[in-house]
Structure 1
Amino acid sequence: MFPEDFVEWASISETKKGRRVIRFAALGSGSRGNAMVVQTARTTVLIDCGFGQRELARRLGRLDLATDVVDAILVTHEHSDHIGGAAACARRHDIPLYMTHGTCSAGLRQGDSADNLDIRLIDGHAPFEIGDFEVRPFPVPHDAREPVQFTLSDGCRRFGMLTDIGVATPHVIDMLSVCDALVLECNHDAQMLASGNYPFALKQRIAGRLGHLENSAAAEILARLDRKRLQHVLAAHLSEHNNTPALAGAALAAILDCDPAWIGIASQDQGSEWRTIS
């Protein structure tokens, strides 16, 4: 169920302003598992589910949520740190799974059965609705079958998410401009990756056009966006071996000309606290 203080506050806000309230939080972000929750007082959406059921319940509990409040799971792509727990969670709690045909095909081929699953195939360019949200998927360059990322809007406010991408396309910039809140991948620092002990082939994959965003590349994307409504920036998918929160925060803060402490960090173990789009 929803925490009473959030429902009460959201109700008061809606009554006063005639608008809905959106809040979001990371349950965890990194190579060992990813999940993001985005919520209004009436709709709760999980973006990715890379944790097993017990761990997911524990992480939701940290935010005073239970798994049975989740209305839908959006899956960005088939890599196990994003889809690993999605089928079991969806099957147990009768939650619909939204994913592209390519993600579904590749994900199920890795061992999940479609039995007793409500799978809703999406077009990577076509918007659709889940409760209070209009969801807009958009394709991204990444080494997966048909990967997408998402924006979610209630008609007044817009949440955007961008992780697991090698390079930004003009379409990505268009989709993420004029967001009120942005979750942005800052996977690695180029120097740390180059001097680290990863195998050369893995370094090439991470730094390649279908890999992950380096801090300066994430900052460049942020610089290209229309940021006039931006209230929150959360750095996500940080490598535990090739990046630090200080480096990621400093790169993004330089673009926004703000204190690096203002940049939120979604960690692997703790995720993040709730952030509310006002």
Structure 2
Amino acid sequence: MQFSVLASGSTGNAVYVESGDHAFIVDAGLTGKKMDQLFEKIDRDIKKLTGILVTHEHTDHIKGVGILARKYNIPIYANDKTWQAMDGLIGKVPLEQRFNFDMETVKSFGGLDIESFGVSHDAADPMFYTFHENGRKLAVITDTGYVSDRMKGIIRGADSYVFESNHDVGMLQMGPHPWSIKRRILSDVGHVSNEDAAIAMSEVIFEKQTQIYLAHLSKDNNMKDLARMSVSQTLQSVGIMPNEYVHLHDTDAEQPTKLVLV
């Protein structure tokens, strides 16, 4: 199993995952043209996608979903409430390309098992995914106001994480957004901060080689260096030394990460 964080941030999100003959993207929050360019950069054929796994209906996660599905005849997977919320946002999708993926269920594609789980976000029925193959595990979790014990139980012990590290609380509080938006981001249905993300990480990572990709950084309320430093310092404060067995990586809103083996 390999993956690449194609794009991650306030302006658009997509994660590519492949295993054997199957390949998926978690969300397509960029234009169809931009998605084509990102696939060229990782040297993969977008036409060979097995499906698009939708997490929730916010624009930065579904902007390119309908376009790609129609252009390349790609199946779309989402839960029922998310399908309802997407109506009118992604255009018409043929019935034969519409598939339900219920929350807290597992779908198998060859040797790849994909598990869905709910998160706490201000969307209709938001959920994310873990991927399992041959005892290896990738967990993708962003867009949640907090990481509950139930979520931690599902993502615990993964070999690789795409983990939200959305904002620095100080930058957010001093930033340009109106208080209503700040309150929403800080709420239980908003986004997790650098420090809260690190605390959750410390409770789910095992003492083994683990790759963590810091994702969905706010353009206005965070910086890559700050996110990495904050997460690193918080992990160190509980006895986890980054670069010993936990390795932190940046993601970008415009450039994909290299394909990496889970």
TM-score range, shorter chain: over 0.9
Q: 2:214 aligns with which of 225, 229, 235?
A: 235
Provide the rounded CA distance (Å) in 1 between the counterparts of 2:184 and 2:260: 33
Q: 2:230 aligns with which of 246, 251, 254?
A: 251
Provide the rounded CA distance (Å) in 2 between the counterparts of 1:144 and 1:214: 19
Q: 1:191 to 1:148 in 2, by over 3 A?
A: same
Aligned to 2:6: 27
Q: Secondary structure at the match of 1:45?
A: strand
Does the Cα contact within 8 Å between 1:215 and 1:251 map onto a contact in 2?
yes
Aligned to 2:153: 174
User: What amino acid does structure 1 have at the position aligned with 2:259?
Assistant: W
* 1:253 CA drift (Å): 2.3
The answer to whether residue 73 in structure 2 is matched with residue 94 in structure 1 is yes
Q: 1:252 to 1:162 in 2, by over 3 A?
A: same
Q: 1:165 aligns with which of 136, 140, 144?
A: 144
Deviates more, 1:266-275 or 1:175-184: 266-275
* 1:114 CA drift (Å): 3.3
Q: Secondary structure at the match of 1:263?
A: strand
User: What amino acid does structure 1 have at the position aligned with 2:119?
Assistant: V
Does the Cα contact within 8 Å between 2:82 and 2:126 map onto a contact in 1?
yes
Aligned to 2:183: 204
Aligned to 1:11: none
The answer to whether residue 248 in structure 2 is matched with residue 269 in structure 1 is no
Does the Cα contact within 8 Å between 2:69 and 2:93 map onto a contact in 1?
no
| Long gaps (5+) in structure 1 | 1-21
Deviates more, 1:45-54 or 1:157-166: 45-54
The answer to whether residue 43 in structure 2 is matched with residue 64 in structure 1 is yes
Q: Secondary structure at the match of 1:44?
A: strand
Q: 1:86 to 1:132 in 2, by over 3 A?
A: farther
User: What amino acid does structure 1 have at the position aligned with 2:79?
Assistant: T
* 1:226 CA drift (Å): 4.0
Does the Cα contact within 8 Å between 1:179 and 1:230 map onto a contact in 2?
no
Q: 1:230 to 1:221 in 2, by over 3 A?
A: farther
Q: Secondary structure at the match of 1:145?
A: coil
* 1:116 CA drift (Å): 5.4
* 1:23 CA drift (Å): 1.2
* 1:242 CA drift (Å): 0.5
Q: 2:109 aligns with which of 100, 125, 130?
A: 130
- How does the TM-score come out when normalised to structure 2? 0.93
- How does the TM-score come out when normalised to structure 1? 0.88
| Long gaps (5+) in structure 2 | none
Does the Cα contact within 8 Å between 1:30 and 1:238 map onto a contact in 2?
yes
Identity among equivalent pairs (%): 27
Q: Secondary structure at the match of 2:213?
A: strand
Does the Cα contact within 8 Å between 1:238 and 1:245 map onto a contact in 2?
yes
Q: Secondary structure at the match of 2:86?
A: helix
Provide the rounded CA distance (Å) in 1 between the counterparts of 2:155 and 2:38: 27
